[in-house]
């Protein structure tokens, strides 16, 4: 197989079907989502068989148990995938929405119409459910998609793609509106990164090294999510009961998520009142605590690890928390600005002015007052779905839903108007 | 001068002042705009003296008269520059605007707050008024700016920058919030394109070769405007009187603008009724006409140049118009999709469905019905000002005003809410 030729063909197919998809009626797009869900359910045995082969090969090549778990499909996970597609069908169609249509002094009416971006490339790792999820979001937002999953999940992804393509065919849409890259040759990724004539935006979903490679080499715009070093600052004005609840939830509700708390900052003056209890609760839940010297001095009776400078810059994605006492709000914001990743940062405070300053001055994609960082998520925010979280500022910031996969053009309505 | 060291310092200064600017109150930013306008007026003689030196050197190095004209300042142009700054002061401040704040089922309130992009680099050619204009827009939108004008206008730009920096100092803002690159060494541009750690977005304003170079080499996002090959399609359902008015205005109101008509498409069936009159009017205004074979067959008594295939892909920026007869709306949209530059395209029609199809299906940054393409402009659209026109889809599309220089972060307000 000539990889370059193959990928060029994939790109051409995508570009051509993007034109059709851009003007597909809402009802047609919803029909594809709903029939795909049905076909996926009917194809459960095929999906599980394909997945079993992927899992078998995964074991042979020595994937660890976490990777094998992410790779595995089962009836529950297939149901969730279908549930996701059905939910997308209920979301409002962003395409064609006209906003701000208003008369100008010249007599013309000017407004903005939401349009698809065109072709979206998604590069992701083992979870096969991303195939249905990403394809559905791209489809609903009127975009063609090229999906490049992990090579360990190729057979599962192929089986899912067949269902999606059946759904497209049933609605008379081109089956190339959703294509998966049907080769495990890594050269295909390099090719994808260079095909800016066909691919309008790339979304890498996976580990930091994947995201860094894509950002560096891609010749088209990238919606990227590098990492989440999330902070909670407990101010001296905090309500202690709320602060403990939020701090525990932000760290322990799920350890491996990008919106999980990694560093807890506490105002020095309030630390003796809150930290001993809070630390014990974390330790009881099995969280390893790494503290600054002041933290350790305060908690001499507890097993607190000495935090190194690297700790402040580390996304643990694990039951580990770094803790630092700071003088005040300014010191906390300084720490966040220096060590944060502009993902999600929160403050616990009952002080109006401090809340207002934190919201305004902390330059992260999500800033929160008295709420757990774990809320930073497309579903929780009401976007209906999420293709990823952007820690960039350009185009999209924070959780990216359907709207992040669109653009707006200007529409001008006149009656023979000319410029003078 | 070590160019790399110098540019790195400019970048560091910009990044540091961007933090201050991001939280500068609206009143402070407006004060800078108003005092800068006043200082520019008071400094008229210094500005003209600096400009005279630029002009003298421009003549010595053999700049053509069009370039010298663009380079020239005079009291009128200085007034216009000041007028522009005063108008920016009246625009609503986009920064801090919170939209869509609403309760979610979990009890948290989620909204979006508009924030600056950070540091904006602008690379432009001879017109010195861009210095005040661009600096003003970046300032009002809370961004620091690094301005790299043409080397032929360095002294004029320096004189303008001194006025802006005085305005900043009077409001106690860092004078490095607006910096011009004070060297004509071309290596400085290469450095600027690589400084992605300091520069958040680049905006090239100038000819196609400049824009292409910047797009190709920049390591940060670029808001780019490549070229404008704008079309008007006169459908058989058009009102002839309106169509003639719009067609004439779109081409002849100003020849050198990017939103000027370059190709006129006419439905074959209506061409005999409209084209002979329209062609005569164009010729009377001194517009050279280049026609397809059918156009020429229809206008045998008029001097119509034979259009070559290149004509359909050419932005003339001159009193030249290419004319092509097409079978119908579909053929017109096919021509636009093949030869257009996704800038601005218009239709003249009285047919509801054709208007609706054109607005939906033509994939350009501005699509118009019964209005002159010359309306495609930030002021005409009510954006208040314009830093450029984007023919991209990512982040910004069409005329880019203050909003295009901003991003949105999520704000989450809670009362001790946790995720379950």
Of A200, A245, A369, the CB nearest to B418: A245
> B142 near B110, Cβ under 8 Å?
no
| Interchain CB distance below 8 Å, B367 and A412 | yes
List, for residues A71-101, the tens digit of each pLDDT value: 999 999 999 999 999 999 999 999 999 999 9
d(CA A198, CA A369) in angstroms, rounded, equals: 42
Specify the CATH superfamily of domain A3-223+401-412.
Answer: Aldehyde Dehydrogenase; Chain A, domain 1 (3.40.605.10)
d(CA B281, CA B44) in angstroms, rounded, equals: 43
Name the one residue in this structure whose structure tokens are 């008269």.
B65
| Interchain CB distance below 8 Å, B419 and A359 | no
User: Both tokens of residue B348?
Assistant: 């003249």
Tell me the average confidence (pLDDT) per consecutive run of 10 residues in chain A, 420 residues long: 95 97 97 98 98 96 92 96 96 96 97 97 91 97 97 96 98 98 94 96 90 91 89 98 98 95 98 98 98 98 97 96 98 97 97 97 97 96 89 93 96 97
Per-residue confidence (pLDDT) for residue B86, from 0 to 100? 96
- Cα A20–A410–B123 angle (5° rounding)? 110
Per-residue confidence (pLDDT) for residue B207, from 0 to 100? 84
Q: A373: distance to nearest CA of chain B, Å?
A: 8
Which is it for strands A109-116 and B109-116: parallel, antiparallel or unpaired? unpaired
Split at pLDDT 50, 70, 90, the class of B95 is very high
Residue from B375, B376, B401, B404 to probe the interface with A (highest A Cβ count within 10 Å):
B375
List, for residues B287-320, the tens digit of each pLDDT value: 999 999 999 999 999 999 999 999 999 999 999 9
ipTM of the complex: 0.93
Q: Which residues of B touch A398 (CB under 8 A)?
A: 408-410
> A11 near A119, Cβ under 8 Å?
yes
| Interchain CB distance below 8 Å, A104 and B382 | yes
| Interchain CB distance below 8 Å, A414 and B104 | no
Of A364, A371, A395, the CB nearest to B414: A371
- Cα A337–A205–A155 angle (5° rounding)? 165
Q: Could you give the C-alpha distances from B275 to B74, B289, B301, B358, in angstroms and in order?
A: 42, 11, 12, 22
Of A110, A239, A367, the CB nearest to B409: A367
pLDDT(B66) > 90: no
- Among residues A327, A321, A170, A325, which one has the least CA distance to residue A253? A321
| Interchain CB distance below 8 Å, B363 and A408 | no
CATH 3.40.605.10 spans which residues of chain B? Answer: 3-223+398-412
Q: A333: distance to nearest CA of chain B, Å?
A: 12
Per-residue confidence (pLDDT) for residue A388, from 0 to 100? 87
Q: A365: distance to nearest CA of chain B, Å?
A: 5
A134 HSE (CA, 13 A, CB side): 29
List, for residues B348-360, the tens digit of each pLDDT value: 999 999 999 999 9
- Among residues B222, B250, B230, B264, which one has the least CA distance to residue B362? B230
Q: Which residues of B touch A376 (CB under 8 A)?
A: 410, 412
Across residues B248-252, what is the average pLDDT? Answer: 98
Of B96, B360, B393, the CB nearest to A407: B393
- Among residues A279, A266, A260, A280, which one has the least CA distance to residue A345? A260
CATH 3.40.605.10 spans which residues of chain A? Answer: 3-223+401-412
Fold that domain B230-380 belongs to in CATH = Aldehyde Dehydrogenase; Chain A, domain 2 (3.40.309)
Q: A152: distance to nearest CA of chain B, Å?
A: 32
| Interchain CB distance below 8 Å, A376 and B108 | no
d(CA A78, CA A40) in angstroms, rounded, equals: 7
| Interchain CB distance below 8 Å, A371 and B409 | no
> A272 near A298, Cβ under 8 Å?
yes
Split at pLDDT 50, 70, 90, the class of B384 is confident
- Cα B100–B104–B108 angle (5° rounding)? 95
The DSSP result for B311-379, as a single string, is: GGG----SSEEEEEEESSHHHHHHHHHHH--SSEEEEE---HHHHHHHHHH--SSEEEEEE-GGG-STT
Across residues B66-95, what is the average pLDDT? Answer: 95
> A120 near A145, Cβ under 8 Å?
yes
Residue from B363, B391, B400 to probe the interface with A (highest A Cβ count within 10 Å):
B363
Residue from A18, A95, A108, A406 to probe the interface with B (highest B Cβ count within 10 Å):
A108
Per-residue confidence (pLDDT) for residue B125, from 0 to 100? 86
Q: Which residues of A touch B104 (CB under 8 A)?
A: 380-382
> B392 near B215, Cβ under 8 Å?
no
Per-residue confidence (pLDDT) for residue B385, from 0 to 100? 81
DSSP, res A394? S
Of B117, B239, B393, the CB nearest to A118: B393
Q: Which residues of B touch A394 (CB under 8 A)?
A: 117, 200-201, 221, 394-395, 407
CA B265 to chain centre: 25
d(CA A230, CA A391) in angstroms, rounded, equals: 12
User: Both tokens of residue A334?
Assistant: 């300084």
CATH 3.40.309.10 spans which residues of chain B? Answer: 230-380
d(CA A226, CA A342) in angstroms, rounded, equals: 10
Which CATH class, in words, describes the domain spanning B3-223+398-412? alpha beta
Beta bridge partners of residue A251, listed in sequence order: none
Per-residue confidence (pLDDT) for residue B79, from 0 to 100? 96
Sign of CA dihedral B217, B221, B223, B228: positive
Q: Which residues of B touch A417 (CB under 8 A)?
A: 246, 370-372, 375
Per-residue confidence (pLDDT) for residue A27, from 0 to 100? 98
Q: Which residues of B touch A23 (CB under 8 A)?
A: 360-361
List, for residues A310-343, the tens digit of each pLDDT value: 999 999 999 999 999 999 999 999 999 999 999 9
Q: A420: distance to nearest CA of chain B, Å?
A: 8
Per-residue confidence (pLDDT) for residue A372, from 0 to 100? 98
d(CA A212, CA A229) in angstroms, rounded, equals: 16
Q: B154: distance to nearest CA of chain A, Å?
A: 30
Q: Could you give the C-alpha distances from A207 to A124, A125, A287, in angstroms and in order?
A: 9, 8, 23
Residue of A nearest to B105 (CA): A380
Q: B98: distance to nearest CA of chain A, Å?
A: 11
> A366 near A393, Cβ under 8 Å?
no
- Among residues A317, A418, A387, A414, which one has the least CA distance to residue A143? A387
Q: Which residues of B touch A238 (CB under 8 A)?
A: none
Split at pLDDT 50, 70, 90, the class of B371 is very high
Per-residue confidence (pLDDT) for residue B388, from 0 to 100? 87
Taking the whole predicted model, whether its pTM rises above 0.90 is answered as yes
Residue of B nearest to A106 (CA): B380
d(CA B269, CA B199) in angstroms, rounded, equals: 54
Q: Which residues of B touch A412 (CB under 8 A)?
A: 346, 366-369, 371, 375-376
Q: A58: distance to nearest CA of chain B, Å?
A: 33
List, for residues B385-411, the tens digit of each pLDDT value: 889 899 889 999 999 999 999 999 999
pLDDT(B3) > 80: yes
d(CA A71, CA A58) in angstroms, rounded, equals: 9
- Among residues A344, A338, A358, A317, which one has the least CA distance to residue A234? A358
Per-residue confidence (pLDDT) for residue A225, from 0 to 100? 83
The DSSP result for B74-88, as a single string, is: -HHHHHHHHHHHHHH
Q: B244: distance to nearest CA of chain A, Å?
A: 9
d(CA B128, CA B150) in angstroms, rounded, equals: 9
| Interchain CB distance below 8 Å, B363 and A22 | yes
| Interchain CB distance below 8 Å, A394 and B407 | yes
């Amino acid at each position: 197989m000539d990889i370059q030729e193959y990928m060029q063909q994939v790109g051409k197919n995508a570009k051509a079907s993007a034109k059709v998809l851009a003007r597909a009626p809402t009802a047609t797009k919803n029909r594809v989502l709903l029939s795909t869900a049905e076909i996926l359910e009917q194809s459960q045995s095929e999906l599980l068989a394909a997945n079993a082969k992927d899992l078998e090969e995964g074991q042979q090549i020595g994937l660890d148990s976490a990777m094998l778990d992410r790779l595995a499909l089962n009836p529950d996970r297939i149901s969730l995938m279908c549930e996701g597609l059905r939910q997308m069908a209920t979301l409002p169609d962003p395409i064609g929405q006209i906003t701000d249509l208003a008369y100008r002094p010249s007599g013309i009416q000017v407004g903005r119409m939401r349009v698809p971006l065109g072709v979206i490339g998604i590069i992701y790792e083992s979870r096969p459910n991303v195939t249905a999820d990403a394809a559905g979001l791209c489809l609903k937002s009127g975009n063609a998609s090229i999906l490049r999953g992990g090579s360990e999940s190729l057979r599962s992804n192929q089986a899912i793609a067949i269902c999606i393509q059946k759904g497209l065919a049933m609605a008379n849409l081109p089956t190339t509106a959703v294509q998966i890259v049907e080769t495990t040759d890594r050269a295909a990724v390099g090719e994808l990164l260079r095909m800016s004539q066909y691919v309008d935006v790339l979304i890498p979903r996976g580990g930091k090294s994947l995201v860094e490679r894509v950002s560096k080499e891609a010749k088209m715009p990238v919606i990227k999510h590098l990492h989440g070093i999330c902070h909670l600052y407990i101010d001296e004005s905090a309500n202690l009961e709320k602060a403990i609840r939020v701090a525990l939830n932000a760290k322990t509700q799920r350890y491996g998520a990008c919106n999980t708390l990694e560093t807890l900052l506490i105002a020095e003056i309030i630390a003796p009142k809150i930290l001993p209890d809070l630390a014990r609760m974390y330790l009881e839940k099995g969280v390893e605590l790494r503290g600054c010297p002041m933290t350790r001095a305060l908690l001499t009776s507890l097993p607190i690890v000495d935090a190194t400078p690297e700790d402040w810059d580390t996304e643990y994605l694990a039951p580990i928390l770094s803790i630092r006492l700071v003088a005040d709000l300014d010191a906390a914001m300084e720490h966040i600005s220096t060590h944060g990743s502009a993902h999600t940062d929160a403050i616990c405070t009952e002080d109006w002015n401090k809340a207002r300053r934190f919201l305004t001055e902390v330059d992260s994609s999500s800033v929160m007052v008295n709420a757990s960082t774990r809320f930073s998520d497309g579903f929780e925010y009401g976007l209906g779905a999420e293709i990823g979280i952007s820690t960039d500022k350009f185009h999209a910031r924070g959780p990216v839903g359907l709207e992040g996969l669109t653009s707006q053009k200007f529409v001008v309505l006149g009656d023979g108007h000319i410029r003078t």
